[in-house]
Structure 1
Amino acid sequence: MTSPCDPQYAAAGDVGAAIMMIDSRLKGVRDGKTATDPEEQALIDQFTASLGPRGADAVLDGTCTLIYLFMKWLRMAYEDHDKDVIEYVVPNLVATMRMMPKSVRPETIPTMAGLLIAAGTGLSPNLWRKQYGYWTKDEMTPLEVTTFLLAEHINRLTDDPDFATRMITEALSKTDED
């Protein structure tokens, strides 16, 4: 029996825009930026405003697709070592988010943990979240943080600062070829 949260029922969204935003954050942190450059933030804000409601929803869906794909990759990597992805990834990410109270409000952490667990068990994070209503404004930054932390976790595991981004862009390129 399939779940209504099965990924086959989820929209993939704009994965390209979502990975572009996460890659920008990863490179910024790698370059030692602790805050977003005002010029870069203005460009991100302009880009976001140009999307309109449908475009913003597509990027939101794309971000959830990234979470799903990152957790799927992590699940396979941890299973290769007889480890459980939920046991090894979720507590680490939750602890990191708890150390970021300015970016991640404490009341949003359970939702982000739920998204990780949903994806870690093969469910669509977006469809899992939509069971409880539409996304709130307060969940947008924590969602980005969650995606960023997953990508960074993958990059550290592979000892390659661009692995997570490259994995997604290569998958997108193969999809375009097909």
Structure 2
Amino acid sequence: MSSCDPGHAAVGDVGAALMVMDSRLKAVYDGKTATDPEQEALIEQITASLGPKGADDVLDGACTLIFMYMKWLRAAYEDQEKDVIEYVVTSLVASMRVMTRSVPPEVIPTMTGLVVAAGTGLSPNLWRKQYGYWTRAEMTPLEVTVVLLAEHINRLTGDRDYATRLITDALAGTDID
């Protein structure tokens, strides 16, 4: 068993990570370059109240979203006899390369690695932890990665809320203490 097996990974605060992703995705769909000020204030308030442990939990939650989205995408592409890495990573890297203010070029390989790890059944957060702690430069690109994967799912399904519902339905079916 790999040290990056998802069974060894912390799930984190998936709810907070999902809230941030959903807020960003709605802003993209509404054609806004920034999120709604009220929503942004709520995100800032939650972020400020987290503390170091809470921030780590949101990072783990974002990686859980990446894992869950890639698991869904892998199944969807396998049904079409296509390779998820070929179809998702190519699109993800192309999108990130044009987002130069949000995604510095030097972090694109790390974000790509997270997605490839998840696409091959490994835990993205355990894969990343092999290389040390998260850097400040990786925070926004991590958020971008989650949003781009969710948008990819929404585009495939033709439903702008599908990726969010996918996670909320999974959470609703889980007993969480």
User: Shorter-chain TM-score: what band?
Assistant: over 0.9
> C-alpha separation between the residues in 2 aligned to 1:7 and 1:68?
9
Q: State the distance in 2 between where 1:40 and 1:75 align.
A: 32
**Runs ≥4 residues deviating over 2 A:** 36-43
Match of 1:110 in 2: 109
1:1-178 aligned within 5 A: 2-176=1-175
- Looking at structure 2, the residues matched to 31 and 41 of structure 1 have their Cα atoms a distance apart, in angstroms, of 15
SS of the counterpart of 1:175?
A: coil
- Aligned CA RMSD, in angstroms, stands at 1.4
Q: Which amino acid aligns with 1:26?
A: L
- Gaps in structure 1 of 5+ consecutive residues: none
- AA matched with 1:89: V
Task: For 1:177 and 1:95, locate their aligned partners in 2 and report how far apart those are by CA, in whole Å.
Answer: 37
Unaligned runs of 5+ in 2: none
TM-score, scaled to structure 2: 0.96
CA offset digits 1:119-144 (Å, max 9, x no partner): 00000000000000000010000000
Moved more, 138-147 or 21-30: 21-30
Amino-acid identity (%): 74
Cα deviation, 1:83-142, whole Å, max 9, x if unaligned, reads 000011001100100000000000000000000100000000000000000000100000
User: How far did 1:43 drift?
Assistant: 2.5
Q: Deviations over 1:4-30 (max 9, x none)?
A: 000000000011111111111111111
Of stretches 27-36 and 152-161 in structure 1, the one that deviates more from structure 2 is 27-36
How far 1:31 sits from its partner (Å)?
1.6
Aligned residues: 177
- Partners of 2:11 and 2:103 lie apart in 1 by 25
Aligned residues of 2:23 and 2:39 also touching (Cα < 8 A): no
